[in-house]
Amino acid sequence: MTPPTPPRRRVLTVVVGVLVVLGLVLVGVGALGTAAPPEPAAAPAATAPPATAPPAGPATGPRQDPATGSPPVALDIPTIGVTGPVNSVGLQPDGTLEVPAPGPDYDEAAWYRGSPTPGRVGPAVILGHVDSAANGPSVFYRLGALRPGDRVTVTLADRTTRTFSVTAVRSVPKDAFPRLEVYGDTAGPELRLITCGGDFDDAARSYRDNTVVFARLVG
């Protein structure tokens, strides 16, 4: 099932603000007056996945390589009650990452199609909103409640599934986003789930941090 390890791939140069865009779109706690979404549990630094060797070329943003394999169409995370479709997003003309736009797909997860398809070598990236002023909690509202060992199952368009085990859940400042750890090459198939987190900045109308889930393929 596992394909031959592809040659080291290039990572597109994109400003760290790629994930800031996500925060600007997600209007949340300050406007809603609701309880803040769960934050990742504090864990020793040793539990975080190590940074990978830098890929060839600039390493400041998401992958640019064309994805191969069957794309994801559904996501199931029993621990936090997430079950639903997965759409896809790409890059905007200015090079920043797209996010689910207001409308029928806003509260659904989206796979970044510049990343590997789930189950292929490398980090497949799936993102989702945390909440909105209009509808409250969104698909990844409880992402920070995941813990190492929790399972994430992705269904692909060919009707096969890939199951990943969470290895780490981290809250990271948007101005210090660990780009290589999130988007860089990995030895095997991995998964990244990303949303906004931390405190909500009322003046900036955005969250200050990102919640990032790291997971590895187990089945």
pLDDT tens-digit readout, 119-174: 999 999 999 999 988 889 999 999 999 999 999 999 999 999 999 999 999 999 98
Which structure tokens are listed for 199? 């405190």
The per-residue pLDDT for range 173-189, each reduced to its tens digit, is 988 999 899 999 999 99
pLDDT value of residue 45: 36
pLDDT value of residue 2: 36
Q: How many residues does the chain have?
A: 219
pLDDT tier at 8 (50, 70, 90 boundaries)? very low
**Chain position carrying tokens 């509808």:** 135
Mean model confidence pLDDT for the chain: 77
The per-residue pLDDT for range 86-123, each reduced to its tens digit, is 999 998 888 778 989 999 999 999 999 999 999 999 99
Distances (CA, A) of 120 to 1, 21, 51, 111, 217: 9, 27, 19, 14, 9
Which structure tokens are listed for 85? 């479709």
Query: Is residue 16's pLDDT more than 60?
Result: no
Domains of the chain with bracketed CATH: 18-40+51-60+68-217 (2.40.260.10)
77: which strand partners?
A: 82
- Under DSSP, the state recorded for 213 is E
